Chains A and B, each alone.
With several copies, the nearest count.
Chain A
């Protein structure tokens, strides 16, 4: 494989992954609101060109009916297809939770392995665009807590391409969360990016003083903070978790043991958030081996606010990461 790279953004990478997957496997389907070219190829254009190339039967726009979307995806998956279903925004998964949780995630188990539900749910979310309380929530913790569905939140375009290729061929349901900025920021991406296995974290920067773990668009914030920490003489090892469930315990534990400190940062609410599971596991496995408690940063306990000023205060920002990393680094 060539190691040539091009600049592309997440949107282009997902589009390329869907194109390749549909080309290679006639069982791959795409459905969702406005996703066909007749409707403009998706509200932000992720699915542009697919229906023109693969036809209206494999790439179907739907009514506004998330239960119907997920139901159609589940049935088609059980019949041998590999549907990629879009739930436009993560807050709208709330109207499809029965289909996702009681059915997609459970039918393999409840049928004793007779039913396979190899589908992918694509959904977009994230604060930062003043869309307020019903359009920007991160609910990955709900799905991580639900047995039978995998949860993926990529950061880079290369990961989007590689993780989508894997998720589509995965025999089980996978929800992939596209977080705002990750769709639009161009990055160097291998031209021939192939599948990247689910469940593997990526150590994006080595470090010695503290491990900082994050995923999705929050990685941009973390990278900014890490640069400033380096200037302050603190060497952070940065982990992009990529798959939140099942998560890569091995990589995370090895890094936390090495640096002796772990800080988990996510955009989801801190209370009962994904970071709690990571902290709980790490404190147990590395009991007595850490120099500081596992730190967590996440959204405060409130809805996403509208006003830009409040939205900025709501989101974890570099100074908060820096302060917390320094506090932990000073311990032990």
Chain B
């Protein structure tokens, strides 16, 4: 009942490598974040997307800097895939004034307009209605820009999802609604919160195409994202992509995982998109193991540089509480 793609775009070798580059950059960044938290150098709540790297990576190779994303608390992978620079990202999650949000937003609320990271929301479902506004603006501007709204499977049960998809369809907005279905909403299993077996079927209710995609397979995500982005750029309107995946680190860093079985988790982790895609790239001759290791080392170096940078930055001054409330500073 969900739609099936007939014309599947295939990424060329360079693009495949670029997808992997983004994936490993996300993975290295995530790993480092967890390490820094464990060491007590970062004190904020952290929602790891380990396991979901493939989704925004295979999408972002199809996006330009001026294409926009609206994402959620579990969204740093989406930003890194969009090639947001890591120094301001790290300075932000360390609460420093050189952070992209001057330390006011933190890891749940990063913004970086230069790379199209427009909104990161902590409210389930709220990325979608706002994404529509950017898409409306693109139509008014007469550009071919698209906006990607990322959200989780649990978010597909909240009112904002419904209102946003309906409006986007009626207005034929260039938006791609990307549901990263990791099977859980906090501790709630998919089927205990969601009344339909595939979220993509909800697209029927909005007269838009809906696809269920293997979110751990870069080629599958790429093919469907390609179709959705083409559709959006050509003025035909929105698409709903449901990308099935898993979060390896539970809901929030430190989470007990008691709400799933060991077997279930082990099985999901066996489908880790990173080693799988690495092997595929090597097997298909797209890259050698050395090339990939080099890529990995480069990502790691970039992350380490960003951490060093962040830790050397100043904390924001208390005056910041009076700035950015309005354009005009609030008098002391």
The answer to whether any beta carbons of A and B sit under 8 Å apart in the complex is yes
**Given contacts A132-B109, A305-B104, A307-B106, A34 and B133 within 8 Å (CB-CB):** no
A141 and B187 CA atoms in complex are apart in Å by 31
Q: Is B174 interfacial (CB-CB < 8 Å)?
A: no
Interface contact A102-B118, CB-CB below 8 Å: no
Which residues 43-86 of A have a CB within 8 angstroms of B?
43, 57-58, 60-68, 70-81, 83
A99 and B43 CA atoms in complex are apart in Å by 28
Q: Is B13 interfacial (CB-CB < 8 Å)?
A: no
CB A60 to nearest CB in B, in angstroms, measures 7
Interface contact A130-B130, CB-CB below 8 Å: no
Interface contact B163-A63, CB-CB below 8 Å: yes
Interface contact A134-B43, CB-CB below 8 Å: no
For A94, the chain B residues whose CB sits under 8 A away are: 123
Interface contact A147-B325, CB-CB below 8 Å: yes
Interface contact B121-A314, CB-CB below 8 Å: no
Out of B103, B132, B185, name the residue touching A306 (CB < 8 Å).
B103
Interface string of B175-216 (1 = CB under 8 A from A): 000000000011110001110000000000000000000000
For B330, the chain A residues whose CB sits under 8 A away are: 301-302
Interface string of B299-332 (1 = CB under 8 A from A): 0000000000000000110101111111100100
**Given contacts A61-B192, A75-B130, A111-B105, A313 and B99 within 8 Å (CB-CB):** no
CB A77 to nearest CB in B, in angstroms, measures 7
Interface contact B133-A112, CB-CB below 8 Å: no
Interface contact A108-B134, CB-CB below 8 Å: no
**Given contacts A63-B170, A71-B128, A80-B137, A112 and B105 within 8 Å (CB-CB):** yes
Q: Is A308 interfacial (CB-CB < 8 Å)?
A: yes
Interface contact B100-A114, CB-CB below 8 Å: yes
Interface contact B137-A171, CB-CB below 8 Å: no
Interface contact B160-A133, CB-CB below 8 Å: no
For B99, the chain A residues whose CB sits under 8 A away are: 112
A29 and B139 CA atoms in complex are apart in Å by 13
CB B188 to nearest CB in A, in angstroms, measures 5
Q: Is A286 interfacial (CB-CB < 8 Å)?
A: no
**Given contacts A70-B129, A71-B133, A308-B95, A116 and B327 within 8 Å (CB-CB):** yes
Interface contact A108-B327, CB-CB below 8 Å: yes
Out of A72, A102, A112, name the residue touching B101 (CB < 8 Å).
A112
Which residues 127-177 of B have a CB within 8 angstroms of A?
128-141, 147, 154-155, 157-160, 163-164, 166-167, 170-171
CB B112 to nearest CB in A, in angstroms, measures 8
Q: Is B71 interfacial (CB-CB < 8 Å)?
A: no
Interface contact A111-B321, CB-CB below 8 Å: no
Interface contact A74-B109, CB-CB below 8 Å: no
Of the candidates B138, B167, B192, the one having the most CB atoms from chain A within 10 angstroms of its own CB is B167
CB A90 to nearest CB in B, in angstroms, measures 12
CB B264 to nearest CB in A, in angstroms, measures 14
Q: Is B256 interfacial (CB-CB < 8 Å)?
A: yes
**Given contacts A75-B133, A111-B111, A306-B44, A95 and B106 within 8 Å (CB-CB):** no
Q: Is B235 interfacial (CB-CB < 8 Å)?
A: no
Q: Is B244 interfacial (CB-CB < 8 Å)?
A: no
**Given contacts A77-B133, A95-B160, A98-B123, A305 and B118 within 8 Å (CB-CB):** no
Interface contact A109-B104, CB-CB below 8 Å: yes
**Given contacts A74-B130, A134-B122, A307 and B137 within 8 Å (CB-CB):** no
Q: Is B258 interfacial (CB-CB < 8 Å)?
A: yes
For B256, the chain A residues whose CB sits under 8 A away are: 40
Q: Is B45 interfacial (CB-CB < 8 Å)?
A: yes
CB A118 to nearest CB in B, in angstroms, measures 9
Interface contact B159-A78, CB-CB below 8 Å: no
Interface string of A126-168 (1 = CB under 8 A from B): 0001111111000000000001101000000000000000000
For A70, the chain B residues whose CB sits under 8 A away are: 129
Interface contact B159-A67, CB-CB below 8 Å: yes
Which residues 74-93 of B have a CB within 8 angstroms of A?
92
CB A111 to nearest CB in B, in angstroms, measures 4
Q: Is B55 interfacial (CB-CB < 8 Å)?
A: no
Interface contact B324-A75, CB-CB below 8 Å: no
Of the candidates A38, A67, A68, A95, the one having the most CB atoms from chain B within 10 angstroms of its own CB is A68
Interface contact B130-A43, CB-CB below 8 Å: no
Interface contact A133-B327, CB-CB below 8 Å: no
A264 and B197 CA atoms in complex are apart in Å by 53
Interface contact B315-A309, CB-CB below 8 Å: yes
For A38, the chain B residues whose CB sits under 8 A away are: 192, 259
For A313, the chain B residues whose CB sits under 8 A away are: 318, 321
CB B60 to nearest CB in A, in angstroms, measures 19
A40 and B118 CA atoms in complex are apart in Å by 34
Q: Is B48 interfacial (CB-CB < 8 Å)?
A: no
Interface contact A133-B132, CB-CB below 8 Å: no
Closest B residue to A173 by beta carbon equals B326
For A40, the chain B residues whose CB sits under 8 A away are: 187, 256, 258-259
For B119, the chain A residues whose CB sits under 8 A away are: 75, 78, 103, 107, 115
Interface contact B171-A60, CB-CB below 8 Å: yes
For B324, the chain A residues whose CB sits under 8 A away are: 108-109, 111-113
Q: Is A202 interfacial (CB-CB < 8 Å)?
A: no
Interface contact A64-B109, CB-CB below 8 Å: no
Out of A33, A113, A132, name the residue touching B102 (CB < 8 Å).
A113
Interface residues of A (CB under 8 A from B): 29, 33-34, 38-40, 43, 57-58, 60-68, 70-81, 83, 91-92, 94-95, 98-99, 102-103, 107-116, 129-135, 147-148, 150, 171-172, 300-303, 305-310, 313-314
Question: Contacts A61-B188, A64-B155, A303-B104 given; 15 further ones with Cβ under 8 A?
Answer: A39-B192, A63-B163, A64-B188, A66-B163, A71-B126, A72-B129, A74-B130, A74-B133, A76-B133, A114-B113, A115-B113, A130-B95, A305-B316, A306-B95, A310-B95
> What are 21 contact pairs spanning A and B, CB under 8 A?
A39-B188, A60-B171, A62-B167, A71-B164, A75-B119, A75-B132, A76-B133, A78-B119, A79-B137, A98-B126, A102-B126, A103-B126, A107-B119, A111-B100, A112-B100, A112-B104, A133-B122, A301-B325, A305-B103, A306-B109, A309-B316
